[in-house]
């Protein structure tokens, strides 16, 4: 039994197809099939039911793949230990980012990070919080940038910054004439929200719930993107709340629709998260320092307070 065979088994389990798994592993399909057959012969079991389309794991195959994932992850961490000891900052690093964070934060830090750490090969995916937690626990992500706290026993969180909510209020709205607004001004009945599954949506709902005894979860209008919410709001369909960094992209003609909250402004906590057993800490530290530094720089040109924790 070899680590390579276990990696091939994991690829087949993920893609449910020998050809796709071989492409993922950069080997020919016959090579991969031969190694899996050798593994099954050595263990004297059938790991994959090849008669099913797509291919399925047998009962014992599921148990083997679960253990194989742990073995492969631990084997990969041997190189992490060596890199950390040498102070080497490089290699592949898989990063997940929330859809409500990625469009604004990624352009702010990616170019600077790549320039400063050219040996790091970032592989970035836009994922929901649920997808991120699953992939971190399965070993398919090294870290992620999400809204916290998550209160997960397997996950560690390092705060990057606190991002205020900003109200986007169109013409003829009841709050239009207010220079600043209060949380108590919010009414879920005229609020445009992201569709279910977005943690930013949950944050807005929780904010409104704190000033309303009952909220009906059957809203009239929801959307999958913040940009769409702005367009719908401009059509007079309601107000919405934006993360502060998204307001930097609002055009000058629409900036008059923005209203800040009275202090203390409600905000979301944004953190870099990783598995408690993660060893690529030198890259996590590098990401944390670069992003925090950029956020502190953005604060210098803004009248809005985005709190960025000092480096630990």
pLDDT at 223: 43
Number of domains in the chain: 3
Burial class of residue 217 (count of CB atoms within 10 Å of its CB; 0-12, 13-18, 19+): exposed
Distance CA 45, CA 257 (A): 65
Residues 263 and 169 placed together within one structural domain of the fold: yes
Residues 170 and 137 placed together within one structural domain of the fold: no
Residues 145 and 220 placed together within one structural domain of the fold: no
CATH number of the domain encompassing residue 68: 1.10.10.10
Distance CA 102, CA 295 (A): 14
Instruction: Tell me which DSSP letter residue 266 carries.
Output: P
**Cβ partners under 8 Å of residue 237, min gap 6:** 192, 221
Residues 167 and 263 placed together within one structural domain of the fold: yes
Q: Domain boundary residue among 64, 83, 102? A: 83
| 76 inside domain | yes
Residues 66 and 209 placed together within one structural domain of the fold: no
| 310 inside domain | no
| 309 inside domain | no
Residues 150 and 210 placed together within one structural domain of the fold: no
Residues 25 and 60 placed together within one structural domain of the fold: yes
Q: Domain boundary residue among 83, 107, 124? A: 83
User: Which is nearest to 100 in space by CA: 168, 165, 170, 167?
Assistant: 165
Burial class of residue 107 (count of CB atoms within 10 Å of its CB; 0-12, 13-18, 19+): exposed
| 305 inside domain | no
Residues 101 and 55 placed together within one structural domain of the fold: no
| 307 inside domain | no
CATH number of the domain encompassing residue 112: 3.40.190.10
Distance CA 245, CA 243 (A): 6
Q: Domain boundary residue among 54, 83, 112? A: 83
User: Which is nearest to 106 in space by CA: 297, 244, 245, 255?
Assistant: 245
Each residue's pLDDT, cut to its tens digit, for the chain (312 residues) gives 999 999 999 999 989 999 999 998 999 999 999 999 999 999 999 999 998 889 999 999 999 998 998 888 888 778 778 877 787 888 889 999 998 899 889 999 999 999 999 999 999 999 989 999 999 988 889 999 998 988 888 999 999 998 888 888 988 888 888 889 888 888 777 778 765 445 555 565 565 554 444 444 444 444 457 788 888 888 888 888 888 888 887 777 778 889 888 888 888 889 999 998 888 899 999 999 999 888 876 654 455 555 545 443
pLDDT at 79: 79
Structural domain containing residue 69: 3-83
């Amino acid at each position: 039994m070899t680590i390579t065979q276990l990696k091939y088994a994991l690829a087949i389990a993920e893609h449910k197809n020998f050809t796709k798994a071989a492409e993922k592993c950069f080997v020919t399909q016959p090579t991969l099939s031969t190694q899996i057959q050798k593994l099954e012969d050595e263990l004297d079991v059938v790991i994959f039911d090849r008669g099913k389309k797509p291919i399925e794991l047998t009962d014992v195959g599921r148990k083997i793949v679960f253990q194989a994932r742990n073995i492969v992850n631990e084997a990969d961490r041997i190189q992490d230990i060596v890199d950390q000891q040498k102070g080497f900052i490089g290699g592949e690093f898989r990063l997940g980012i929330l859809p409500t964070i990625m469009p604004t934060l990624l352009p702010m830090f990616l170019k600077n990070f790549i320039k400063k750490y050219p040996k790091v090969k970032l592989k970035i995916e836009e994922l929901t919080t649920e997808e991120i937690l699953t992939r971190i626990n399965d070993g398919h992500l090294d870290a992620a940038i999400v809204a916290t706290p998550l209160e997960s026993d397997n996950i560690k969180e390092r705060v990057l910054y606190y991002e205020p909510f900003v109200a986007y209020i169109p013409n003829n709205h009841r709050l239009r004439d207010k220079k600043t607004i209060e949380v108590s001004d919010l009414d879920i009945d005229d609020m445009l929200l992201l569709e279910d599954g977005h943690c930013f949506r949950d944050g807005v709902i929780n904010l409104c719930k704190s000033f309303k005894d009952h909220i009906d979860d059957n809203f009239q209008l929801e959307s999958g993107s913040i940009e769409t919410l702005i367009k719908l709001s401009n059509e007079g369909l309601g107000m919405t709340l934006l993360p502060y960094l998204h307001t930097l992209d609002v055009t000058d003609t629409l900036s008059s629709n923005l209203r800040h909250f009275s202090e203390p402004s409600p905000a979301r906590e944004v953190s870099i998260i990783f598995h408690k057993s993660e060893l690529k800490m030198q890259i996590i530290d590098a990401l944390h320092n670069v992003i925090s530094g950029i956020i502190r720089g953005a604060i210098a040109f803004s009248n809005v307070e985005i709190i960025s924790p000092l480096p630990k």
